[in-house]
Amino acid sequence: MQSQYSPKVPKIAVLRLALYAKNLDFLERQGLEIISSLRLAELCGVNPAQIRKDLAYFGQFGVRGRGYYVKSLLQELHTILGINRRWTLGLVGAGNLGRALLHHAQFAREGFVFSVIFDKDPAKVGTQVGGLLIRHINTLGQWIGNEGSFDIAMLATGTQAAQTCTGLLIKYGIRAILNFTPVKLQVPEGVYVEDVDMTLRLNLLCYRVITGSEHSLNG
C-alpha cells in the first residue's frame, strides 16, 4: 500500500475514500457493473478529478475509456481502509447514547460487531442489552486478559468519566477509540481517537443558517 512509503495522502482524502465506498456499495446493490469518475463524483458531491487523484495515491484501479468496475473498486477500497475484515467493538458507557450505538444497524452491516459492554453503574452491571451482559468498567483488564479483547472502543460515558476510562482502555492495550464525549482525550502516540462531536456540528449548522453560507463538511 502506497501510504506506507509516501505519507503524502491528504487527511480528508481517506475520509472521501470511505464516502466513495459507501456510494459504490449502494451502486453494487443496484446491480451496476461499471461507473465513471464523472458519475460517481456527481453521486458523492465531489469533483471527478478528485476521485481519480484520491485513488491514485493507492494505485490504478480503473480502465481507461471505460471507468471503474464497481465490485472490484469497492473491494480495493475495503482493503485500503482496512474494512475487508471483521472488527470487534467494546462499548464503554451504557447510557442512552451507548445503547443506541449498540443497536445501530449500520455498524453490524459493515462488519463492526459489539463483543462487550462496560459501565460503572452497579445497577446496570449484570443486566443485558442487545444480548450482551453489561460488565463493570473495573473488570476491563480481566475481560481483555481472559475472555478476549476488542479492536475499537466506543466511548459514550459522561464527561467526568471520559479521561479515566480512556486511561484504562489504553492501559489494557486498546489503540482505537471512537469518542462520543465532548472531551479532548489525552492519549499517547500510537493510540488513535476519532471525535464525533454532535454539538460542534450543530453549532456549525446554526452559523450556516444565520449567515446563509454554503459552508459544508464531510463526515
Partner DNA sequence: TAGATTGTTAATCGATTAACAATC
- Applying CB under 7 A, which residues contact DNA? 8, 10-13, 36-38, 46-50, 52-53, 55-56, 60-68
- Of 62 and 93, which CB lies nearer to DNA in the complex structure? 62
- What is the per-residue binding string for a second copy in 4-43, x denoting contact by CB under 8 A? x--x-x-xx-xx-xxx-xxx-------------------x
- Of 60 and 96, which CB lies nearer to DNA in the complex structure? 60
Residues 76-115 that bind a second copy (CB under 8 A): 80-83, 87, 95-97, 99-104, 106-107, 110, 112
Q: Which stretch binds a second copy (CB under 8 A): 75-83, 115-123, 133-141, 163-171?
A: 75-83
- Of 9 and 129, which CB lies nearer to DNA in the complex structure? 9
Q: Output the DSSP codes for the chain.
A: -HHHH-----HHHHHHHHHHHHHHHHHHHTT--EE-HHHHHHHHTS-HHHHHHHHHTT----BTTTBEEHHHHHHHHHHHHT-SS-EEEEEE--SHHHHHHHH-HHHHHTTEEEEEEEES-TTTTT-EETTEEEEEGGGHHHIIIII---SEEEE---HHHHHHHHHHHHHTT--EEEE-SSS-----TT-EEEE--HHHHHHHHHHHHHHT-------
